[in-house]
Amino acid sequence: MYLPESWTTDPARRAEAGIPDEVEFKKKWQLALEMIDEVREWGLADRIVVADAGYGDATEFRDAVESRQLSYAVGISSQVGVWAKPPKIYIPEYGGRGQPATRYQYGKQRPSSVRDVALHAKGWKKIRWREGSKGWLESRFLAVRVQPSHGFVDGEAPHKEVWLLAQWPEEEKEPSKYFFCDLPPTHTLRRLVRIAKSRWKIEQDYLQLKDELGLDHYEGRNWAGWHHHVSMVMVAHAFLTLESLRTKKNFWVDPATDAT
Q: Radius of gyration over alpha carbons of the chain, in Å? A: 22
Indicate whether 190 and 114 sit together in one domain: yes
Q: Return averaged pLDDT per consecutive 10 residues of the chain, 260 residues in all.
A: 90 92 94 95 94 96 97 97 92 62 83 96 94 88 96 89 97 96 97 95 90 89 92 93 77 49
Q: Give the range of the structural domain holding residue 160, as residue numbers without chain letter.
A: 72-93+101-197
Tell whether 230 and 121 lie within a shared domain.
Answer: no
pLDDT of res. 94: 62
Whether 76 and 160 share a structural domain: yes
Residues 176 and 85 in one domain: yes
- 221 shares its domain with 108: no
Q: Is residue 251 part of a domain?
A: no
Domain presence at residue 161: yes
Question: Do 105 and 191 lie in a common domain?
Answer: yes
Is residue 185 in a domain?
Answer: yes
Q: Are residues 234 and 120 in the same domain?
A: no
Residue 142 inside a domain? The answer is: yes
Specify if 205 maps to a domain: no
> What pLDDT is stored for residue 247 in this prediction?
75
In a domain, 28, yes or no: no
State the pTM of this model: 0.85
One-letter identity of residue 51:
A
CB atoms within 10 A of CB 105: 12
Are both 193 and 79 inside the same structural domain?
A: yes
How far apart (Å, rounded) are the C-alpha atoms in residues 254 and 260?
Answer: 13
Give the Cα separation of 73 and 65 in Å (integer). Answer: 11
Q: Looking at the structure, do residues 189 and 222 belong to the same domain, yes or no?
A: no
Return d(Cα 80, Cα 97) in angstroms, integer: 37
DSSP secondary structure string for all residues of 64-109: HHHHTT--EEEEE-TT-EEESS----B-PPP-SSSSPP-S-B-TT-
2 located within any domain: no
Same domain, yes or no: 170 and 225: no
Taking the C-alpha atoms of residue 135 and residue 142, their distance in angstroms, rounded to an integer, is: 22
Q: Is residue 50 situated within a structural domain? A: no
Are 109 and 158 members of one domain?
yes
- Residues 113, 151 share a domain: yes
Domain count, the chain: 2
